[in-house]
Amino acid sequence: MSRRNKAKKRLIHPDPIYNSKLINMLTVRILKNGKKGLAQKIIYQALEIIKEKTQNDPLETLEKAIRNATPLVEVKARRIGGSTYQVPMEVRAYRGTNLALRWISKFANTRTGNNMALKLANEIIDSSNENGQTIRKKEETHRMAEANKAFAHYRY
């Protein structure tokens, strides 16, 4: 059992333009080598692309995409008597949002093309329309939890 202290939860400040905490959380996921300005520029360009393509509020589209991509259950490995079981557990709201943002940025990065803003915009639009890699990952996570429902009594 770990004897370390629990990590203190950091306060998330909203981003300067849209005044949204979600965009700031997404900025941290896109961030590379500490270049926050570049990450913000990519996200703002992606939001402009979303506005042009969908004629909707880009912030609402982003929120809908994150809502659609947020998993409700996940599996965690638990070792019991020499065997490791995949135990399904419910996902808390904050962790679910983090997972959705992580998946969106990961699958946007792996898309073909050379413009990250365009790739991110397309991934967000796909997620808000309930298709794309991010939604597939969520469904796969739910299927894994459903398949291992028999081990639910090992929850801790």
List 123's β-bridge partners, or say none: none
pTM to 2 decimal places? 0.91
Residue-wise pLDDT for 42-86, tens only, equals 999 999 999 999 999 999 999 999 999 999 999 999 998 999 999
Q: How many CA atoms lie within 13 A of 116 on its CB side?
A: 16
CATH topology for 21-154 is Ribosomal Protein S7 (1.10.455)
Task: Yes or no: say if 127 and 134 are a contact pair by the CB < 8 Å rule.
Answer: yes
Q: What are the extents of the domains in the chain?
A: 21-154
Whether the predicted pLDDT of 1 surpasses 70:
no
> For position 4, what pLDDT does the model report?
85
- Distance between CA atoms of residues 32 and 137, nearest Å: 23
